[in-house]
A = this chain, B = another copy of it.
Amino acid sequence: MIELGANRYGKAAIRLVKIDRGPDRHTVRDLTVAIALEGDFASSYVDGDNSLVVATDTMKNTVYALAGEYLTGPIEAFGAVLVRHFLAVNQVEQATVSIEEHDWGRIGEAPDAFVRDRVSTRTAAVTGTGAGRIEIDAGIDDLTVMKTTKSAFGGFPRDEFTTLPDTDDRLLATRVSAVWRYTGTPDFDASHAAIRSTLLEVFAEHESQSVQHTIWVVGRAIVDRHPEVAEVTLTMPNLHHWLADLSPFGRPNDRSIFIATTQPHGLIEATVRRA
C-alpha cells in the first residue's frame, strides 16, 4: 500500500512593485511574495482531479489584484489579508504567505526617485489555519555585521583533529537571519524597527565568547526587551576572516590584515524563547 503524505503547493517569486502617488510625494513598496496551501488536495495527486486545485496562476493574479486595496500598511497585514482570502476556499486547511520587502530609499528630497537599499531584507510569514488561528512571524534576512573586538573563542575541547588555537580577540562576521513570532498584533512597523535596533545594538556591545553565545545574548535581549515577541530564531553563519600570515615577508600583522572567506563556514542556529 502506497499513500500520499505531507504535501503543499503554491506560487513563489511573485514580484510586485506598488507606487503610491501621494499629492506631495510618491512611495515605493517592493515585494517578493510566496503562497503555499495545505489541505485536502489528495485527489489532485492521486486521481489527477483538479476540481479542488486553486491554480497557482490564480494565486499570482490574486496578489496583484488585492495589492491596490490592501497593501497599504505593513507586509504582515497584507499577508494576513491574503491568508484569509485563501482560507475561505473550502478544502484549504492551512495557508502560508511569505513576503520579502526590499527597501528603497529616497534620492535626496526627490518626491519621485529612489535608490535600492540592500542593507537587509525585511521578511514576514503569515500562517492561518481553518480553525481560525493566525500566526505571524517577522524577520530580517541578509543583515551582514562584523565585530572587530570583543570576540573570543577559546576553551573548546582539543582532540586529535583540532588545530585551531584559542583566541581572545578574533574578527567576528556573520550574515544574520532572524525570525521571530509575535504574540498578538503589535504595531508591526514599529516593532520591526525596534527589534532590528536591539539586534544591532546588542551585537555591537556584547562580549562574545562564541557565535553560540552571541546568538543567546542577542536573542535574549530581543525577547526580554520586546514583550510582543514570543520567541526568536537566529541563524548566524560564521564568515571566517583569517589573519594573513605575513611573517614570511618579515612584516608584522597585529590583527589588521585578514583573508575573507566563504567556504567553509560555521553555521549556528538556535531559538530563544519565553519560558
Report the Cα distance A122→B198, complex, angstroms. 30
Report the Cα distance A241→B29, complex, angstroms. 13
Give per-residue flags for A1-23: 1 if the beta carbon is below 8 A from chain B beta carbons, else 0. 11111111111111111111100
Please state if A68 and B246 are interface contacts (CB–CB under 8 Å).
yes
Give per-residue flags for A150-186: 1 if the beta carbon is below 8 A from chain B beta carbons, else 0. 1001111101111110000001000000000000000
In the assembled complex, which residues on chain B have CB atoms less than 8 Å from the CB atom of A246? 64-65, 68
Report the Cα distance A105→B118, complex, angstroms. 13
Minimal beta-carbon separation of A102 from chain B (angstroms): 9
Give per-residue flags for A259-275: 1 if the beta carbon is below 8 A from chain B beta carbons, else 0. 11111111111111111
Stretch at the interface among A73-81, A128-136, A187-195, A205-213: A205-213
Given A114-B148, A266-B56, CB of A161 within 8 Å of CB of B249: yes
Q: Which of B8, B147, B259 is A15 in contact with, Cβ under 8 Å?
A: B259
Q: Which of B3, B212, B252, B259 is A275 in contact with, Cβ under 8 Å?
A: B3
In the assembled complex, which residues on chain B have CB atoms less than 8 Å from the CB atom of A212? 7, 9, 41, 44-45, 53
Q: Which of B26, B50, B272 is A2 in contact with, Cβ under 8 Å?
A: B272
Minimal beta-carbon separation of A163 from chain B (angstroms): 5
Please state if A110 and B205 are interface contacts (CB–CB under 8 Å).
yes
- When C-beta atoms are compared, the residue in chain B nearest to A237 turns out to be B12
Report the Cα distance A36→B157, complex, angstroms. 17
Given A4-B216, A115-B119, CB of A260 within 8 Å of CB of B30: yes
Minimal beta-carbon separation of A141 from chain B (angstroms): 12
Please state if A11 and B265 are interface contacts (CB–CB under 8 Å).
yes
Minimal beta-carbon separation of A221 from chain B (angstroms): 9
Please state if B9 and A107 are interface contacts (CB–CB under 8 Å).
no
Given A4-B272, A115-B144, A263-B262, CB of A57 within 8 Å of CB of B164: yes
Report the Cα distance A144→B220, complex, angstroms. 36
In the assembled complex, which residues on chain B have CB atoms less than 8 Å from the CB atom of A254? 21
Please state if A50 and B154 are interface contacts (CB–CB under 8 Å).
yes
Please state if B108 and A201 are interface contacts (CB–CB under 8 Å).
yes
Report the Cα distance A41→B157, complex, angstroms. 13
In the assembled complex, which residues on chain B have CB atoms less than 8 Å from the CB atom of A200? 107-108, 113, 115
Q: Which of B16, B36, B160 is A259 in contact with, Cβ under 8 Å?
A: B16
Interface CB pairs A-B, < 8 A, 29: A2-B223, A3-B275, A4-B270, A5-B231, A11-B266, A11-B267, A12-B264, A15-B263, A44-B209, A44-B213, A45-B212, A45-B216, A50-B210, A51-B155, A54-B159, A55-B162, A56-B267, A57-B163, A58-B161, A58-B163, A61-B161, A62-B161, A64-B246, A107-B204, A112-B147, A113-B203, A113-B205, A118-B144, A163-B248
